[in-house]
């Protein structure tokens, strides 16, 4: 992130003149646009208050840049479309905003412009229980949806640590602890309604369509999943639902080494155990969680596991998993069957982010996010821990190891440029280590501001060219969330 700041500042310096004329022109365009915005979504739907702009110009990451010039709160897709048309004709940047829980600076208004906050569009529409699908507006969060589904016997399993908006999750291709069994947003979106920069409304699978499978042309749904607001504004998502499992069993197990914990993960998956969650926490992370959540787990590499299924299959799954962990030297295998005990266990995992931050009061966490083929996981975690030690960096590790995805929660003082630079260099080394073993620089948080150079390395010029061609076709004036994904 530091390099980003430096290069952005340098570039800003060089481009200062041309930018200042642009800003003047933009100011005039904005003044003209404001009255049109107000006539479309009302006085209450338009805010230029400094506090509101500040709040909508940043997410949960350490990235900081300009706030948007204005924040809009549309109430329906027609308003979103009409507002986008105004931005299009005035050449104003459009930045979609879900709940602002992103970790890569995705909502920052790098070039100023208009933030579309979608929180007032919060209806849950068209629940089809018998077909296991539901359509939601962009203001609906994952927890609101699951609360709504409580009495139906259905649930939506994708669970990033924060209570994010479901359309924001689609925009980031988010996942979480359940992905190893239920997939990520990519596997769980059936259709999206999207407003393009020029105000055109499209349905990525055709209006109202929700077939379980289709072979009908290009997969536009997949194109918008992970597009991070750079192609259009998602105004509706049709999602897959699942039956709440009959039985749930959770377990914790500690290991003598990182290698042993990760080897157990690989063994459990290879044995075909249909595990619902398998999360790794290293010794530093366990220590932080113990302190933060007043627990007393052994301070050692640890796996948190969860099994879903019928009574019979639960017993089989647990038996196999326990054997695998024992073969790898695991000890203290603890089970939790009742909901309260399970929730206590998983709460510790879900609070990992805050537990990490509490290691150094006044500091912020920055999360790395590499994902590698699972067979390469042990070596990369071992190398990463050695790197952390060698460079004296605080970075507890928590990972969705069943998917080969893990995070170093780097705790840093954002006001100390030296430290910021150290963490930046570490993140780059880690990402390159992942790329070298056929992995990716981001498993679930997205590219945003911080990983644009890495995306370029990961894809290579011809593939980046193809991505840019798609961007040019759908957003010819480059108004959608400028400055994200691509360098320059």
Ligand X SMILES: *[C@@H]1O[C@H](CO)[C@@H](O)[C@H](O)[C@H]1NC(C)=O
Ligand Y SMILES: Cc1cc2nc3c(=O)[nH]c(=O)nc-3n(C[C@H](O)[C@H](O)[C@H](O)COP(=O)(O)OP(=O)(O)OC[C@H]3O[C@@H](n4cnc5c(N)ncnc54)[C@H](O)[C@@H]3O)c2cc1C
Task: Give residues in contact with ligand X (CB under 6 A).
Answer: 186-187, 189, 213-214, 219, 221-222, 225
Nearer to ligand Y among residue 318 and residue 345 (C-beta): 345
Pairing of strands 114-117, 94-97: parallel
Strand, coil or helix: what is 250?
A: strand
* From 59, 79, 133, 193, residue interacting with ligand Y (rule: CB under 6 A): 59
Residue 111 found at the interface with ligand Y (CB under 6 A): no
Stretch touching ligand Y by CB under 6 A, among 71-79, 103-111, 149-157, 287-295:
103-111
Nearer to ligand Y among residue 146 and residue 320 (C-beta): 146
Residue 101 found at the interface with ligand Y (CB under 6 A): yes
Q: Residue 235 corresponds to which tokens in the numbers above? A: 């105004």
Nearer to ligand X among residue 163 and residue 187 (C-beta): 187
Q: Residue 222 corresponds to which tokens in the numbers above? A: 């997949």
Of ligand X, ligand Y, none, which one does residue 160 interact with (CB within 5 to 8 Å by kind)?
ligand Y
Q: Which helix (H) or strand (E) holds 238?
A: strand 233-240
Residue 138 found at the interface with ligand Y (CB under 6 A): yes
Stretch touching ligand Y by CB under 6 A, among 67-75, 154-162, 326-334, 340-348:
154-162
Q: Nearest-CB residue to ligand Y?
A: 168
Pairing of strands 46-47, 247-254: unpaired
Question: For residue 400, what are the β-bridge partners?
Answer: 405
Nearer to ligand Y among residue 102 and residue 402 (C-beta): 102
- Hunting for tokens 């890569």 — which residue is that? 104
Contacts of 182 (CB under 8 A, 6+ apart): 157, 158, 188, 242, 276
Of ligand X, ligand Y, none, which one does residue 225 interact with (CB within 5 to 8 Å by kind)?
ligand X
Nearer to ligand Y among residue 167 and residue 324 (C-beta): 167
| Contact (Cβ atoms closer than 8 angstroms) between residue 314 and residue 335 | no
CA distance 134 to 125: 7
Of ligand Y, ligand X, none, which one does residue 222 interact with (CB within 5 to 8 Å by kind)?
ligand X
Q: Report CA 302 to chain centroid distance, whole Å.
A: 24
Q: Report CA 356 to chain centroid distance, whole Å.
A: 18
Nearer to ligand X among residue 17 and residue 213 (C-beta): 213
Three-state secondary structure string covering 269-332: HHCCCCCCEEEEECHHHHHHHHHHHCCCCCCCCEEEEEEEECHHHHHHHHHHHHHHHHHCCCEE
Residue 161 found at the interface with ligand Y (CB under 6 A): yes
Q: Is the dihedral of CA 81, 83, 85, 88 positive or negative?
A: negative
- Hunting for tokens 């412009």 — which residue is that? 113
Question: For residue 225, what are the β-bridge partners?
Answer: none
* From 113, 157, 168, 245, residue interacting with ligand Y (rule: CB under 6 A): 168
Summary count for the chain: helices (H), strands (E): 18, 18
Of ligand X, ligand Y, none, which one does residue 214 interact with (CB within 5 to 8 Å by kind)?
ligand X
Residue 396 found at the interface with ligand Y (CB under 6 A): no
Nearer to ligand X among residue 221 and residue 265 (C-beta): 221
Nearer to ligand Y among residue 118 and residue 276 (C-beta): 118
* From 79, 279, 282, 444, residue interacting with ligand Y (rule: CB under 6 A): 444
What minimum distance in Å lies between the beta carbon of 52 and ligand Y?
15
Binding footprint of ligand Y on the chain (CB under 6 A): 59-60, 95-103, 106-107, 118, 138, 160-162, 164-165, 167-169, 171-172, 174-176, 228-229, 233-234, 353, 444-445, 481, 484
């Amino acid at each position: 992130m530091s390099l980003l700041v430096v290069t952005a500042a340098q570039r800003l310096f060089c481009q200062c003149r041309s930018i200042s004329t642009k800003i003047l022109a933009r100011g005039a365009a904005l003044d003209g646009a404001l009255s049109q915005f107000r006539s479309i979504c009302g006085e209450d739907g338009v805010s230029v208050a400094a506090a509101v702009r500040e709040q909508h110009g940043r997410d949960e990451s350490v990235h900081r840049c300009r706030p948007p010039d204005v924040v809009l709160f549309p109430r329906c897709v027609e308003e979103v479309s009409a507002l986008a048309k105004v931005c299009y004709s005035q050449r104003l940047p459009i930045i979609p905003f879900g709940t602002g829980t992103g970790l890569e600076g995705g909502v920052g208004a790098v070039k100023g412009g208009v933030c579309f906050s979608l929180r007032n569009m919060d209806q849950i529409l068209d629940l089809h229980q018998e077909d296991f699908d539901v359509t939601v507006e962009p203001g609906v969060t994952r927890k609101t949806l699951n609360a709504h589904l409580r009495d139906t016997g259905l649930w939506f399993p994708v669970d990033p640590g924060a209570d994010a908006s479901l359309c924001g999750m689609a925009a980031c291709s988010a996942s979480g602890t359940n992905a190893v069994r239920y997939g990520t947003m990519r596997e769980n979106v059936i259709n999206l309604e999207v407003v393009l920069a020029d105000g055109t409304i499209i349905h990525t699978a055709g209006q109202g369509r929700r077939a379980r499978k289709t072979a009908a042309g290009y997969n536009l749904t997949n194109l918008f999943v992970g597009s991070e607001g750079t192609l259009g504004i998602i105004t509706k998502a049709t999602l897959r639902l699942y039956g709440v499992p009959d039985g749930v069993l959770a377990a914790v197990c500690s290991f003598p080494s990182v290698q042993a914990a990760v080897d157990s993960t690989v063994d459990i998956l290879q044995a075909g155990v249909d595990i619902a969650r398998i999360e790794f926490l290293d010794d530093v992370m366990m220590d932080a969680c113990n302190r933060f959540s007043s627990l007393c787990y052994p301070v050692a590499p640890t796996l948190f596991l969860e099994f879903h299924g019928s009574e019979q299959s639960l017993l089989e799954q647990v038996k196999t998993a326990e054997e695998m962990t024992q073969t790898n030297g695991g000890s203290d295998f603890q089970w939790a069957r009742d909901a309260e005990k399970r929730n206590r266990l998983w709460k510790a995992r879900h609070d990992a982010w805050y537990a990490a931050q509490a290691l150094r009061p006044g500091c912020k966490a920055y999360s790395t996010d590499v994902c590698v083929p699972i067979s390469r996981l042990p070596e990369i975690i071992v190398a990463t821990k050695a790197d952390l030690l060698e460079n004296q960096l605080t970075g507890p590790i928590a990972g969705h190891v069943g998917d080969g995805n893990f995070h170093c929660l780097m705790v840093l003082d954002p006001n100390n440029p030296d430290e910021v630079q150290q963490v930046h260099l570490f993140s780059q080394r880690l990402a390159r280590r992942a790329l070298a073993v056929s992995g990716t620089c981001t498993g679930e948080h997205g590219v945003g501001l911080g990983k644009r150079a890495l995306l370029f390395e990961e894809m290579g010029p011809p593939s980046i060219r193809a991505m840019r061609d798609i961007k040019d076709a759908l957003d010819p004036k480059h108004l959608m969330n400028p400055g994200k994904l691509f360098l320059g």
